Amino acid sequence: MSNGAPGPTPGFLVWRLANKWRVAVDRAVAPLGLTHAQYSLVASLYGLQRAGERPSQRQLADHTGLEALYVSKLARALESAGLIERTRDPRDPRAVQLALTEQGRTVTRQAVAVVQELLQRLLEPLGGLDAARTRAFTAELTTLLDVPLDPSS
């Protein structure tokens, strides 16, 4: 709660919404053998690969906003499950590149469809995925996400 203003703060509401959506995505992708974090990784990798990229773990960490160490842990688990392959970057032997396997692409396409359906339901109060209110909400969230954590950045 903020001083003088009744009700929850914006930070509290963002935190609650993020947790609610994380749980919803976890439940939605669980039948496909994924967690929300794993889904975030494979869906991002899928999009980057479709754009012709083969990102490193570091690039994927930057893209998703996840910690590099956590991306490494997720990547190892997804590799064990046969969904991604990890290879050394020929340009930088310290870097590990990631790519979806054929099985990974299949599971990811299924997961994306499931999550899109879930998002349509979650965003229905704003008019759905393609509604003007949803676009405005997305723009506001993007504005907040663009603020650096370190004020000197």
For each of the chain's 153 residues, which pLDDT tens digit applies? 556 668 899 999 999 999 999 999 999 999 999 999 999 999 999 999 999 999 999 999 999 989 999 999 999 999 999 999 999 988 888 889 999 999 999 999 999 999 999 999 999 999 999 999 999 999 999 999 888 887 665
Q: Which single residue is written with the structure tokens 């688990």?
A: 77
Q: Token pair for residue 121?
A: 């339901």
pLDDT (0 to 100) of residue 23: 97
Q: Which single residue is written with the structure tokens 């609650």?
A: 16
Q: Write the CA distances from 15 to 9, 18, 19, 83, integer angstroms.
A: 10, 5, 6, 30
Tell me if 39 sits within 8 A of 25, measured CB to CB: yes
